[in-house]
Structure 1
Amino acid sequence: MSNVIRLRHALPMSPEINKALTDLDSAIAKAIEASKASGLPQGLIVADLHGHAHAQTHQMVTE
């Protein structure tokens, strides 16, 4: 996702966090491309990603 501009965090992030974020982004992009290549409709991909984001947000605010 080279066309995505990353917002800067208010505090400096460590190189380890930056690497983890880059690795996560790369893994998500590869999974999306593999899903598209296997014929999964883009709407289902978006719905699945949205569901995971919602679940993680819920977990963060309830813990």
Structure 2
Amino acid sequence: MSNVARLHHVLLISQDINKALTGLDSAIAKAIDAAKAAGLPQGFVVSLLHGYAQQQTSIMVER
């Protein structure tokens, strides 16, 4: 996903967080590529990612 611009927080983030974010981004990209190669419809990939985003948003709002 090298063509995606990453927005940075105003405050500096630690190298550990940056490393974790880069690893997460890479793992998600690899999983999406593997799913597409296996023939999973793109709409299902999008809906799955959207569902996880909704769930995490709900958790953040509840705290």
Q: Flag whether TM exceeds 0.5 (same fold).
A: yes
How many residues are aligned here?
63
- Name the Cα RMSD after superposition: 0.6
In the superposition, the TM-score normalised over structure 2's length comes to 0.96
Deviations 1:6-61 (A, max 9, x none): 11101000000000000000000000000001100000000000000000000111
Structure 2: state its 5+ residue gaps: none
In the superposition, the TM-score normalised over structure 1's length comes to 0.96
Structure 1: state its 5+ residue gaps: none
Percent identity among equivalent residues? Answer: 65
Deviating beyond 4 angstroms after TM superposition, the runs of 4 or more aligned structure 1 residues are none
